[in-house]
Amino acid sequence: MKSLSFRIRETGSLPIETEGWLPEAFFESTLDQVLAHRLMVGNRPASVGELFDVRPVDGEPDRWFLEGDLRAVHHLGAGMSRGHLEIRGSVGRHLGRGMRGGTIEVDGDAGDRLGAAMSGGTIRVGGNAGDGVGAAELGNPIGMTGGLLVVEGNVGDELGRGQRRGLIAVGGDAGEGAGFAMRAGTILIGGSAAGSPGAGMVRGSIILARPPRRPLLPSFRFACRLQPPMIPPLLASLRRVTSCLSMLDPRTSFDLHSGDLLEGGRGEILIAAPGV
C-alpha cells in the first residue's frame, strides 16, 4: 500500500485513543482494513473511516500523514518501532510513548508525556509540549532510555524525569524539575529552566543556554568554567534535525556545577557563562 493521509473530521471533545494504530501494524493491509480498524472514542468504539478522511498518497508504505486538530487524539505512535508519522497540526497526550524506532514529526504542539519512556527513534515537535517530556511513566522510575527527542518551543514540568540515556533538546524554556532523578543521558535547553533542575540526579548532563530562573539547589557545587568538548559535536548532530538551537555558539564557555551531592555528585549542570 502507498503512504496514507488522514484528515480528522469533527469529533467533539471526547478523547480518541489510538494505541496500537501504527504504520507498521498495517504495512500489508488493504485500505478497507485500515478504514475498518476500530479506535476508542470516549467509552465507545468507532472505525477509522468514521473519524478520518483517508486517501492514499505517493510515498513509502510505512509513512502516514495526519492533518487537522488532533489535540483530542492520544497515544499516536505509542510503541512504534519503524516507519514515519508526520503530523500537521497539534496533537494530544502520550505521543510516541515507549517508542523504539522510526520517526515522528509534528508541526504544531504536543500534549503531556511526549516520548515518555521511549528507547529509540526520533521525535521532533515544532511547537511547545506539556509536562513529562521524555519522562518515566507514572509509577515507574525509568524514563527515556534512548533515541532523540526535540521540542523546538517550550516544555512543561519534569522534563526527562528518570532519564537513563538518549538526548532531549529543547529550543525554549523548561518548567520545574528538569532532569529530576535522571541517571544518565543529556538534556540541552536553549532557554532557561524553572526551579530545581537536576534534583536527585545521579549522573547525566543538563546544559542550559541561560541561567535558571531560580538559583540551583544547594546540593550542587560550582566546579569550574570550561569549554566542554562534547558541545561542538552535539550541536553539529542536532543541526541535521533542527535549527532551533542554531543560536548556540559551539565555542561557548560554561560554568560546571556538580551534583546532586545528595546522590553522590556525579551529575552535572552546565550553564552558559555570561559575557564570555
Reported as a single tens digit per residue, the pLDDT across 177-189 is 999 999 999 999 9
Over residues 90-96, the mean pLDDT reads 97
pLDDT tens-place string over residues 201-231: 999 999 999 999 999 999 999 999 999 999 9
Cell numbers of 99, please?
A: 517508542
DSSP the chain: --EEEEEE---TTS-EE-TT--GGGGTT--HHHHHH-EEEETTEEEEHHHHEEEEEESS-TTEEEEES-BTTEE-TTTT--SSEEEEES-B-TTTTTT--SSEEEESS-B-TTTTTT--SSEEEESS-B-S-TT-PPTT-S---EEEEEEESS---SSTTTT--EEEEEESS-B-TTTTTT--S-EEEESS-B-S-TTTT--S-EEEESS--SSPPPTT-EEEEEE--TTHHHHHHHHHTT-STTTTS-TT--EEEEEE-GGGTS-EEEEEEPTT-
What was the pLDDT predicted at 1? Answer: 64
pLDDT tens-place string over residues 2-52: 799 999 998 778 999 999 999 999 988 999 999 999 999 999 999 999 999
- Look at residue 259 and tell me whether its pLDDT is greater than 80: yes
Over residues 153-181, the mean pLDDT reads 98
